[in-house]
Structure 1
Amino acid sequence: MKRPSLNDLSAFVAVATHRSFRRAADELGTAPSTLSHAMRGLEDRLGVRLLNRTTRSVSPTEAGRELLGRLQVALTSLDEALDAATAFRGNVAGKVRINAPRVAAALLVRDVLPRMVERFPDVTVDLVVEGRLIDIVSGGFDAGVRLIESIPRDMIAVPFPDPIGFVCVASPAYLQRAGEPTTPDDLQRHRCIGHRLPGGRLYRWEFERAGQELTVDVNGPVVLDDEELMAEAAAQGLGIAYVASWAAEAALAEGRLRTVLPGWMHKPERAAVYYPGHRAVPPALRAFLDVVKTMPTARETH
């Protein structure tokens, strides 16, 4: 029997993993019909059916599942061997695709990308900002960013050094004119800057005090979907905004904004970069993760 090519075996792993010729073709940069023909040839060469096909789905047979499990281990070892060899070139090159929500992407741009450019100039970071939760594997991403509690269990997580905190802020002029709220219920009498989430619905402001959690529907003259724009709208006196702390840092330091309801703010949340645990880590992704691990803490940036 003629030994199948490495390309055919890699293609089989992609099809069996995605259970879709189209998604596997997107990952491999080829046509679904080409993959289908290659899989027929692989089955003929091995003399066994590897994939069950219908007009709507593809799934591995028992023989296919056995081959998939063994090939994943073998290909991972092969990738690791190649990565170890390329390390002797003395530089890391390539592209790493990252999916992140806006609040985390801003931190990456501020604290990670400058260090990536300095330390790994031959690595391109393709950062896609997207608020909705997606499957990073089927989406063709090397890694994603989420709150730790929402990361799937089969992923490996590299936490940001600091949790992401949130603040309610308003301009001194607005507070002088409208008064300062002392409880979240007081927000009903204030102009508030709405936050539209990626799915289209408005965010209900979340508060917590002494173990008591409270959500508030707010109203106001402006609705935005960008944290920095919300902070700037508040600085312009348009109302009270509820934003990630980083978005208001500069305006707070300049005195253009003041915090309100500090004793009611929800506890900070931990975020992390995550990636599939069953795959070898490409050199470009490993470089990115190394830089994430050296992100400055809040103490170091002040």
Structure 2
Amino acid sequence: MSRPSLNDLTAFVAVASHRSFRRAAEEIGTAPSTLSHAMRALEERMGVRLLNRTTRSVSPTEAGFRLLGRLQPALASLDEALDSVVGFRGNVAGTVRINAPRLVAGLLVREILPRMAERYPDVTVDIVVEGRLIDIVSSGFDAGVRLLGSVPKDMIAVPFTRPLMFICVASPAYLERGAPGTPEELRHHHCIGHRMPSGKLYRWEFERAGQELVIDASGPIVLDDEELMVEAAIAGMGIAYVADWAAETALSDGRLRKLLTAWMPSPEGVAVYYPGHRAVPPALRAFLDAAKDLRKKKP
């Protein structure tokens, strides 16, 4: 059996990961028919079927899944080896497109972009704020930023900064009428609703000593932006369930107070994620390095 080329193996990983010749072809920059012929030639060269094809779908065979599982980390290691010498060829330049929810986008602007501008003045960081979890590859992004548990399994995740924790907050003026002692008592309070990008109302999640509880909170206002939820809570309109990052300034200056702290879920990590089956561009590698540095400096 002749050894397949690196290009053929990279193309196979793209097809097997996307389960689509069209999407893989868009990523690689070739025609779907050319990619299909290349995969048949690869199968003939290796003497084993790697992909199951129908008129509507493509998926790896058992042998294909095994090869995919071995190739993804191998190609990622190869990318890292090549990236390690990028600095010797001159200045890093280019554009890196990042997809992130609004709350995390604010952190990127405050903490990472100044580092990027100082170290890599020829790199442009293009951030698009998006609440929905999208397919970053088909949407043309180099990387995305999400809670670690929301990162797709076929992506490489790089945790950064401190974990994010969800909290209940209210203003001192609102709490003069009394504070809830348990999540169930929220039903007797004004709660600031959170509409998710899907259009559904977020159900408030709690846990204590292994016991999980979900509450359908209701009140006089529903918002789809956490910063606005914090402002509404400061104005005394009710209790908000938000990420601690959004409320930290108002908590530190006393405009808000935490509630039900013993019932709040465990903190969740935040990560930059990117495809593991494609070469990491120098501009993206620079962004990842800045994110890793931020993690080291945050408590």
Q: 1:25 to 1:252 in 2, by over 3 A?
A: same
Task: Give the whole-Å Cα distance in 1 for the aligned partners of 2:256 and 2:128.
Answer: 30
Write the letter of the residue equivalent to 1:225: D
Say whether residues 1:258 and 2:277 are aligned partners: no
Q: Secondary structure at the match of 1:270?
A: strand
Say whether residues 1:109 and 2:109 are aligned partners: yes
Give 1:88-107 correspondences, 5 Å limit: 88-107=88-107
Shift of 1:160: 1.9
Give 1:124-143 correspondences, 5 Å limit: 124-143=124-143
Task: Note if contact 1:163-1:270 (Cα within 8 Å) is conserved in structure 2.
Answer: yes
Q: For each residue in 1:253-296, what CA deviation from the matched residue of structure 2 results, as whole angstroms up to 9, or x when unmatched?
A: 22221112222211111121122333332211111111111116
Give 1:149-228 correspondences, 5 Å limit: 149-176=149-176, 178-228=177-227
Give 1:217-296 correspondences, 5 Å limit: 217-295=216-294
Q: For each residue in 1:118-149, what CA deviation from the matched residue of structure 2 results, as whole angstroms up to 9, or x when unmatched?
A: 22121122223333333333333322223323
Task: Give the whole-Å Cα distance in 2 for the aligned partners of 1:251 and 1:294.
Answer: 27
TM-score, with length taken from structure 2: 0.76
Shift of 1:104: 2.8
Task: Give the whole-Å Cα distance in 2 for the aligned partners of 1:107 and 1:203.
Answer: 23
Aligned to 2:147: 147
Task: Note if contact 2:160-2:295 (Cα within 8 Å) is conserved in structure 1.
Answer: no
Q: Secondary structure at the match of 1:198?
A: coil
Task: Give the whole-Å Cα distance in 2 for the aligned partners of 1:80 and 1:259.
Answer: 43
Q: For each residue in 1:167-223, what CA deviation from the matched residue of structure 2 results, as whole angstroms up to 9, or x when unmatched?
A: 2111111112x2211211221111110001111111111112222221111111111
Write the letter of the residue equivalent to 2:119: R
Task: Note if contact 1:234-1:240 (Cα within 8 Å) is conserved in structure 2.
Answer: yes
Shift of 1:110: 2.5
Write the letter of the residue equivalent to 1:147: L
Task: Give the whole-Å Cα distance in 1 for the aligned partners of 2:59 and 2:167.
Answer: 48
- Structure 1: stretches of 5+ with no match in the other structure: 1-5
Q: 1:264 to 1:108 in 2, by over 3 A?
A: same
Q: 1:126 to 1:188 in 2, by over 3 A?
A: same
Task: Give the whole-Å Cα distance in 2 for the aligned partners of 1:94 and 1:221.
Answer: 47
Give 1:19-58 correspondences, 5 Å limit: 20=20, 22-24=22-24, 26-27=26-27, 36=33, 56=56
Task: Note if contact 1:166-1:242 (Cα within 8 Å) is conserved in structure 2.
Answer: yes
Write the letter of the residue equivalent to 1:105: A
Write the letter of the residue equivalent to 2:245: W
Q: 1:73 to 1:252 in 2, by over 3 A?
A: closer
Aligned to 1:121: 121
Please tell me the root mean square deviation across aligned C-alpha atoms, in Å: 4.1
Shift of 1:114: 2.1
Q: Secondary structure at the match of 2:162?
A: coil
Q: Secondary structure at the match of 2:164?
A: coil
Task: Note if contact 2:21-2:35 (Cα within 8 Å) is conserved in structure 1.
Answer: no
- Structure 2: stretches of 5+ with no match in the other structure: 1-5
Q: 1:42 to 1:167 in 2, by over 3 A?
A: closer
Task: Note if contact 1:8-1:39 (Cα within 8 Å) is conserved in structure 2.
Answer: no
- Residues matched between the structures, number: 293
Task: Note if contact 2:169-2:258 (Cα within 8 Å) is conserved in structure 1.
Answer: yes
Q: For each residue in 1:70-105, what CA deviation from the matched residue of structure 2 results, as whole angstroms up to 9, or x when unmatched?
A: x99999899778756753343111122222333433
Which moves more between the two structures, 225-234 or 132-141? Answer: 132-141
Write the letter of the residue equivalent to 1:146: R
Q: Percent identity?
A: 70
Which moves more between the two structures, 227-236 or 118-127? Answer: 118-127
Task: Note if contact 1:111-1:296 (Cα within 8 Å) is conserved in structure 2.
Answer: no
Q: 1:74 to 1:264 in 2, by over 3 A?
A: closer
TM-score, with length taken from structure 1: 0.75
Task: Give the whole-Å Cα distance in 2 for the aligned partners of 1:180 and 1:16.
Answer: 53
Larger radius of gyration: 1
